[in-house]
Amino acid sequence: MMSRWKLWLPLAILAFIGGLSLYGLTAPKDEFVRSQMIGQKLPTFELPPATDGIKGLSNRDFADGKPRLLNFFGSWCAPCKMEAPQLEALAAAGVEIHGIALRDRPEDVASFLKQYGNPFQRIGADVDMRLQVQFGSSGVPETYVISGDGRITYQHIGDIRSEHIPLLLEKLKEAR
């Protein structure tokens, strides 16, 4: 009787491992890393300008009572290029947008803005990505709604598409 049990044990273990693997492949996944900063005040920061002719950025630039967007981007980022028309549309609609250029050279940021437009009021350079890490951001592009008192109220992960604009405008209204 004991020997029969030993014969079936490897098959039972294999079936169990196969079942776990199958569950792992079919379980719904959240591929995005959500920021733990949602609802929190902006971290203290002071970033130099990312390129000539545009002011740098600090947390104090968000403390004037007006909600705005903060967009992490890179000139080297393909989805950032794809979202450029939507950022331009938001800026044309009166939305104030500040940018943070990640791991970028000033001449590359200038070239990006010349080619894809500049919806930004200010752009800070986060060369070593320290601020990105503080935000809990996992990639680019990533956009945050910042309330008038400097709180992070919403995180949009990935490129902004035309269908996302109404939600972002609603989140900006809520952030007043």
Choice between 84 and 21, residue whose per-residue pLDDT is larger? 84
The tens digit of pLDDT for each residue in 51-105 reads 999 999 999 999 899 999 999 999 999 999 999 999 999 999 999 999 999 999 9
Could you say which of 3.40.30.10, 3.90.730.10, 3.30.70.640, 1.10.1040.10 is the CATH number of the domain covering 46-174?
3.40.30.10
In angstroms, how far is CA 3 from the centroid of its own chain? 58
pLDDT number for residue 2 = 58
Q: List the domain boundaries for the chain.
A: 46-174
What is the model's pTM? 0.81
